[in-house]
């Protein structure tokens, strides 16, 4: 890849790559832990709602006092985006509206953007990516997060001449998880509330991983970056281990479980009765390839790829993803090559807000991982036709009328201001297909 060599050459020339980080939470901290070992990469500034907490995060990940003292800390992501000398802005807050504002400010200032904030990306990524192209800067997914890793595998497969039957990730899933609230989340992780609190774990964030919302968000991001199709009824979460990927994740008309070719799907590490799946892919990513001809299909078998019984579908996978520990790949790719590690190309998928229980007029929605709604993946065009309220906008908005459990919440159901996030979402919808 040559990124390390190119980065070292920048260091030798006295021109290190200077990045700014917005959000010093878990993902950001993992990135910060790697920076001292990367010759030619510096973090010039860190923005966090609590600058003192950000300084503590730097110390906890091993930064020495000199490095911390040389770093500028602020509580304003917009301020950081406009600072002189920064080449790449990393948005890692997880707040959709904040992420959109920060990315917009960075692009306007001529900075490359690495968007860790997948929630913001699936709301406005199509519009932000177009704005970045017009400004001559890079708008990129975050390497280490599953959507970027899946996008890389899809691109690799296509560049090698294969058709993509399916691509996605693994997770722990049961249908009952859709109604889990933050009060009940820790038992599913084998933790007590006290243990989770001592570890600084946010119950609403971790509940998003469990109730299917995060999988829907990441599925939409993958579809929007790769052009893969979104299931009409949302993710099915079929139980599937790595040995069965090529069998399960192929179209129904050839014996698989997908409604058609070229689909996004997430596989579960649990059978529907709760038993663990054999050789599950809970932490990993996959792609299922379709051989373009008989010769390539024969090569699948000759070189040991796990295939279906026809030999025409083969799976490749990574069993793990390393989150923020791999984020520098995106930063260096943007600065050194002018290339994203995955980026929104179109608006294929959105994430509808679905009522976890019977909701009453006057209630306030509490967004991703909360008590009121969960996110379900939907084709963007269908979501637009149904006027669904995306999960990224379902935070601190009031219901105007009752919504029954299991029903999608629509824009007509809520009182919501037409702010920048809403406007960019509607702009992105114009590209829906």
322-344: pLDDT as tens digits? 999 999 999 999 999 999 999 99
Judge whether 341 and 143 are in contact, CB under 8 Å: yes
pLDDT tier for residue 112 given thresholds of 50, 70 and 90: very high
For the segment 271-283, the average pLDDT, to the nearest whole number, is 97
Range from 38-52, 135-149, 210-224, 413-427 carrying the lowest mean pLDDT: 413-427
pLDDT at residue 170 is higher than 80:
yes
Q: Rounded mean pLDDT of the chain?
A: 96
pLDDT over 90 percentage in the chain: 95
pLDDT of residue 197: 82
What pLDDT sits at residue 296?
Answer: 98
Mean pLDDT score, 68-83: 98
Q: Would the pLDDT of 397 be above 80?
A: yes
Grade residue 432 by pLDDT with cuts at 50, 70 and 90: confident
Kindly compute the dihedral angle of the four CA atoms of residues 178, 403, 394, 258, in this order, to the nearest 10 degrees: 40
Note the pLDDT tens digit of each residue in 188-246.
999 999 988 877 788 999 999 999 999 999 999 999 999 999 999 999 999 999 999 99
pLDDT score for 430: 77
- Of 112, 34, 9, the residue nearest 327 (C-alpha): 34
pLDDT exceeds 70 at position 79: yes
DSSP H helical ranges for 236-366: 245-248, 294-302, 328-332
Q: Which helix (H) or strand (E) holds 154?
A: helix 146-159
pLDDT band of 60, cuts 50, 70, 90:
very high
What is the spatial distance between Cα 139 and Cα 141, in angstroms, rounded to a whole number?
7
What is the arithmetic mean of pLDDT over 87-109? 97
> What is the pLDDT, as a whole number, of residue 47?
98
Given a cut of 90, whether residue 429 has pLDDT beyond it is: no
Q: Which residues make beta-bridge pairs with 408?
A: 354
Just give the CATH number of 3-144+324-337. Answer: 3.40.50.720
DSSP codes, 70-104: TSEEES-HHHHHT-TT--EEEE----HHHHHHHHH
429: Cα within 13 Å, side-chain hemisphere: 19
Judge whether residue 317 has pLDDT over 80: yes
User: What are the extents of the domains in the chain?
Assistant: 3-144+324-337, 147-173+212-321, 349-429
pLDDT band at 24 (very low <50, low <70, confident <90, very high): very high
Q: How many CA atoms, within 13 angstroms, populate the side-chain half-sphere of residue 46?
A: 27
Collect all residues with Cβ–Cβ distance below 8 Å to 360 and sequence separation of at least 6: 399, 402
> What region does 406 belong to: left with phi over 0, alpha with psi -120 to 50, or beta?
left
pTM beyond 0.75, yes or no: yes
Topology of domain 349-429 in CATH is Type Iii Antifreeze Protein Isoform Hplc 12 (3.90.1210)
Q: 433 falls in which pLDDT band (50, 70, 90)?
A: low
């Amino acid at each position: 890849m040559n990124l390390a060599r190119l980065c070292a050459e920048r260091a030798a020339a006295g021109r290190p790559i200077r990045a700014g980080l917005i959000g010093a939470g878990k993902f950001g901290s993992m990135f910060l832990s790697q920076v001292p070992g990367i010759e030619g990469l510096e973090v010039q500034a860190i923005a966090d709602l609590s600058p003192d907490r950000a300084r503590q995060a730097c110390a906890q990940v091993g930064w020495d006092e000199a490095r911390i003292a040389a770093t500028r800390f602020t509580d304003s992501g917009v301020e950081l985006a406009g600072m002189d000398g920064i080449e790449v802005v990393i948005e890692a807050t997880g707040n959709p509206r904040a992420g959109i504002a920060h990315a917009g400010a960075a692009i306007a200032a001529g900075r490359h953007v690495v968007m860790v904030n997948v929630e913001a990306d699936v709301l406005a990524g199509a519009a932000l990516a177009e704005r970045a192209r017009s400004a001559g800067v890079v708008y990129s997914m975050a390497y280490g997060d599953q959507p970027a890793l899946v996008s890389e595998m899809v691109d690799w497969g296509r560049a090698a001449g294969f058709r993509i039957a399916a691509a996605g990730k693994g997770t722990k899933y049961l249908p009952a998880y859709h109604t889990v609230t933050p009060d009940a989340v820790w038992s599913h992780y084998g933790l007590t509330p006290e243990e989770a609190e001592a570890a600084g774990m946010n119950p609403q964030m971790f509940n998003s991983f469990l109730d299917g919302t995060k999988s829907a968000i990441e599925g939409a991001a993958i579809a929007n970056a790769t052009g893969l199709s979104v299931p009409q009824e949302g993710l099915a979460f079929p139980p599937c281990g790595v040995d069965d990927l090529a069998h399960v994740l192929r179209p129904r008309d050839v014996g698989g479980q997908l409604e058609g070719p070229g689909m996004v799907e997430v596989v579960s590490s649990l059978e529907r009765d709760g038993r663990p799946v054999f050789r599950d892919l809970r932490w990993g990513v996959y792609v299922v390839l379709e051989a373009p001809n008989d010769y390539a299909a024969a090569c699948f078998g000759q070189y040991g790829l796990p295939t279906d019984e026809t030999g025409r579908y083969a799976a490749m996978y990574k069993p793990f993803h390393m989150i923020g520990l791999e984020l520098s790949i995106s930063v260096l790719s943007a600065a050194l090559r002018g290339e994203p590690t995955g980026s929104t190309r179109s608006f294929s998928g959105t994430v509808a807000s679905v009522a976890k229980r019977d909701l009453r007029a006057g209630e306030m929605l509490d967004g991703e991982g909360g008590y009121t709604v969960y996110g379900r993946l939907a084709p963007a065009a269908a979501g637009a036709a149904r006027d669904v309220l995306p999960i990224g906008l379902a935070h601190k908005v009031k219901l105007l009328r009752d919504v029954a459990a299991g029903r999608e919440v629509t824009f007509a159901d809520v009182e919501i201001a037409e702010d920048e996030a809403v406007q960019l979402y509607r702009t992105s919808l114009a590209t829906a297909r």
